[in-house]
Structure 1
């Protein structure tokens, strides 16, 4: 089994357990129905797109073969559906969850950049769905920080974040190899927070307060590290993490709420444009080499 599949299984298992605990112990305020409509939308669209692509390319769908293969195929959709149902809050409405999940899955098929001999999606799916629903539906918000530890106190207030943090460290260190990105993002976050505290009228290091919350831990270890939409080389990971922190700091200067999500979608979009730029440069260089070859043959 390759590392990607192992990472997906671990991510899916972790977010599933967290949602179960959230609705039984931790005090999640979304309804069970909203979870199921998110998951149903994600599964349906993922299967639909894969069926269409298999028909067009005259091959078997990637989910065919066995039940385990089918389950593995649905893991990305499962993660996106649960992430959206866990992070957005829309009272008792269903449509925002359906729409945000649909945007997440569709973004993988529509917004793609050239990569090697094919193409790949460059936007984090669940993050994209969350950003779009926040922009289009002002009545929809992000689940409040107490959402994750509302029904616990004392020892458990520390144990739950510590458990999620340690699990995220092991997952990303062993399977996704995204620790350079995590450290760059965390370090960049602290730097921009200290700079804003130094030069702007904040009191008591308020700019650092988000780092003490479970929301930032989840974002750091389970969203910004998405293997499919982040770079693999160490230098590129560091650049990506620092860029997210820088953009977040700029957004905070303009009092943009939910800055984590917006900073990530901005950096991912810039990276996608850069991938297009590299592809264009590569194509142009190939044309120049081909023309030079024709000139040499003519001589």
Structure 2
């Protein structure tokens, strides 16, 4: 694919231009990154190390943890380096690579949320048939679909950005290379890009969110049939926390990508983007894994092995 851009590098403004806030933000986002990275890596190691966790539910959690690691690692280290050194430039190739990996993780996470909701729906609504429906081949098939959709989504959007011409200015009013600020900088028509972003937002974000909510609707209906109050409380606690994280992820994504480039307000959009790029990957291990007794047991075995 030919690229005729004059711009060879971009300048990333970051979250704020106020020098007095840079040090505080560096510490905050370093902490967020370490929590997200170590939390998700712990999940990966615990699931791989414990054969008892080699079930569809935990394999999907493993995939989510890997996606979150890629998402945060593609964005935060560069952002931290910019805060620390005040060198806020990124090469054209580096920007496109960051865009590709972020867009891939965005698509993968949305489809994974839907797949995980379907897994919980089968487990709660069809407990006796769960092992038959969610067998090894089904799990591999679902993960293959997740990967295919994520890669296709990323290639389409990155490929369309690569076709644009950037002839200046080259200042990205954001903390990473995302589609909206790049479209705002292009000096060639971006109508096709906007249409494809809109299509992806409707099919992936709105579509997956709807399917996820439908799955949880059936789950809640099944929970209401549980006779014990304690059982209802536990199930509702799990479902409500899952829905909270899912809503926290989908809402800003839909808000960001459903609008044309001319309507972007970057000061507000940077805060919104932080929700699905930084906050959700940090919350996922806590909400989906660390509250689970089997996962807690698996993590303890890992620490016991490290001590030994």
With normalisation by structure 1, the TM-score equals 0.28
With normalisation by structure 2, the TM-score equals 0.28
